[in-house]
Each structure stands twice: as structure tokens, then as C-alpha cells.
Amino acid sequence: MSHTVAQLLCLVGFSALAFGLRRPQHDILRRSLRRPVVLALRAVGACALLAALAVLVDASGWGFGLVKFSGHTTLAAALVYLALIGYGRRSAMRQ
């Protein structure tokens, strides 16, 4: 259960962090987001990742929790990356 919750939180976190970057904003939204929005996205992203760490440490302790956190963050970042590539390809094909 903790694995699922942590993975979902990491996905939310990296999605927010991705939208806090200029290139994904332009690729998907076709515009730049305002500075306060970007800062809010970064804060949400960081908090979601910290929440994932808290869930894992609470469930498994610091030793196991940190190892699992490292794995979940990598997997979530890769999934967000693949989703962005997939979205970009679909948009390119439509055009």
C-alpha cells in the first residue's frame, strides 16, 4: 500500500515540477506560466516528494524508506518523462 501511495505522490510531484519548467510549459500549454504559478508548482512538487518520503519512512523506517524513495522517484520521473514524450509525439502527428 505504501508503495502505491508513494508512487502516486511522486508522480504528482514530478508532474508539478515538470510544469514548473519552461520547455514543458511551451510544449504542452504553448505559453509561459506566470512566476507565482511556477513557484506554486515547484512548492507542490517538492511537498509531494517529501510526502512520499514521509509515507515510505513511516512504513519501513529510514533505512528501507530511503532506498525505496530513491527507486520511486526515479520511476516516477521516468514515467512523467515518457508521458511528456508521448504527448509531444501525439501533438506532432495531429499537426
Does residue number 51 form part of the binding site for other proteins (CB under 8 A)?
A: no
Does residue number 41 form part of the binding site for other proteins (CB under 8 A)?
A: no
Query: Which residue matches cell numbers 495531429?
Result: 94
Nearest-angstrom CA–CA distance, 3 and 42: 23
Point out which span in 29-37, 46-54, 85-93 binds other proteins (CB under 8 A): 85-93
- CB 36, min distance to other proteins, A: 19
Nearest-angstrom CA–CA distance, 18 and 20: 5
Does residue number 43 form part of the binding site for other proteins (CB under 8 A)?
A: no
Does residue number 3 form part of the binding site for other proteins (CB under 8 A)?
A: yes
Does residue number 70 form part of the binding site for other proteins (CB under 8 A)?
A: yes
Does residue number 24 form part of the binding site for other proteins (CB under 8 A)?
A: yes
Give the burial string for 13-40 (b: 16+ CB within 10 Å, else e): bbbbbbbbeeebbebeeeeebeeeebee
